[in-house]
């Protein structure tokens, strides 16, 4: 049965990198129907809406969304972020941002980290109240939000056979909200072990040595500022990181810097019904149309989408093709001379 993907190119270099990702997907023998939709500043200039109802209709009908980038106007006071609105529409609570060495210029050779970020509460969905002296931002962290994102990170680590999940927080200062997040993380880690042991007991397997039979990731935690330092000094100590919204947004860019920059950074935002996939970089209007944008993040986002849609084998093929292409040439942000379409052609040829 065909899967349906809503494609939203967006602004700036968004259409260029999404075209590259679609070229790669077209090189695969897949049964995917595309719903092409619009959003962003250029859409507003054409249609009078940043996120038209027709686009929301396409998103609601899709199994997944492939998204480019948006130019957010800074001088529009009542502007509502398109990407935040889409995440809310999908209840895409889990933002996953992997950082991996594919052979690009990498400050930490062999690095393979996944950052899991809560996506629907915290600072980016906080009420702001302005008065004569300033602005008060009311951040909210809930038990439900903390439970589902920490469980998602633990389950992801288990599925990918990763060894450790580290919870990042500032519970030493934010002694109620961040402390809640940390406490729930350990509760979910404990619950995962209890469920594993109950499952083993149900099928008659001995619990002695169960951890070696069905390994589960270890759970630990670290203060956010120390984690930022350790990512610079010794990033290989980390495996899966889980944290709150604003913290994760900042640290994911630091992690991307370790593996060559935002041009190599894919992401997926997962909800109970559908998921949204996008390169982490912005719309970069200063280089739009110049054929210099790095499409790797968009192509790897498409690979994440394939795995979500049940095409894990094809996702691995795309990742291998990216690695092969990077061995032949790179775009200018990675010290190479290839244009967007030239690098994309290398990936397609590698497939």
Predicted confidence (pLDDT) per residue in 90-117, tens digit = 999 999 999 999 999 999 999 999 999 9
pTM: 0.92
- Which 3-state string (H, E, C) describes 138-155? ECCCCHHHHHHHHHHHHH
Active site residues: 124, 170, 225, 249, 253
Rounded mean pLDDT, 33-40 = 96
The answer to whether the CB of 329 falls within 8 A of the CB of 338 is yes
**The predicted structure's pLDDT at residue 211:** 47
Distance in angstroms (rounded) separating the CA atoms of residues 291 and 93? 34
> Please, what sign has the CA dihedral across residues 8, 9, 14, 20?
positive
pLDDT tens digits for 15-27?
999 999 999 999 9
The domains found in the chain, sorted by start residue, are 1-95+262-351 (3.40.718.10), 107-258 (3.40.718.10)
The answer to whether the CB of 65 falls within 8 A of the CB of 100 is no
Distance in angstroms (rounded) separating the CA atoms of residues 339 and 350? 17
Check whether 146 has a pLDDT greater than 60: yes
């Amino acid at each position: 049965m065909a899967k349906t993907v809503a494609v939203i190119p967006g602004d700036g270099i968004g259409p260029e990198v999404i075209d590259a990702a679609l070229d790669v997907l077209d090189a695969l023998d897949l049964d995917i129907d595309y719903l092409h939709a619009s959003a962003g500043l250029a859409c507003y200039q054409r249609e009078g809406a940043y996120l038209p109802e027709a686009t929301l209709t396409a998103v609601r009908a899709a199994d997944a969304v492939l998204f480019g980038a948006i130019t957010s106007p800074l001088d529009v006071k009542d502007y509502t972020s398109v990407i935040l609105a889409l995440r809310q529409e999908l209840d895409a609570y889990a933002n996953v941002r992997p950082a991996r060495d594919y052979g690009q210029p990498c400050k930490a050779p062999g690095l393979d980290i996944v950052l899991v970020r809560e996506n629907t509460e915290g600072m980016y969905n906080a009420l702001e109240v302005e008065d004569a002296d300033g602005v008060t931002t009311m951040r909210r962290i809930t038990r439900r939000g903390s439970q589902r994102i920490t469980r998602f990170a633990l389950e992801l680590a288990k599925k990918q056979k990763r060894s450790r999940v580290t919870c990042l927080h500032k519970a030493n200062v934010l002694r109620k909200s961040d402390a809640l997040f940390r406490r729930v993380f350990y509760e979910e880690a404990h619950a995962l072990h209890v469920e594993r042991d109950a499952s083993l007991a149900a099928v008659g397997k001995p619990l002695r040595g169960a951890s070696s039979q069905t390994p589960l990731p270890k759970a630990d935690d670290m203060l956010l500022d120390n984690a930022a330092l350790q990512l610079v000094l010794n990033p290989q100590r980390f495996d899966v990181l889980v944290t709150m919204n604003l913290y994760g947004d900042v640290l994911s860019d630091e992690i991307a810097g370790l593996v060559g920059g935002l041009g190599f950074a894919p992401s997926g935002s997962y909800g109970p019904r559908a998921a949204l996939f996008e390169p982490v970089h912005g719309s970069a209007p200063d280089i739009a149309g110049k054929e210099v944008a790095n499409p790797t993040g968009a192509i790897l986002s498409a690979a994440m989408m394939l795995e979500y849609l049940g095409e894990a084998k094809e996702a691995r093929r795309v990742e291998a093709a990216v690695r092969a292409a990077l061995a032949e040439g790179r775009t200018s942000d990675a010290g190479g001379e290839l244009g967007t379409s030239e690098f994309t052609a290398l990936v397609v040829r590698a497939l």
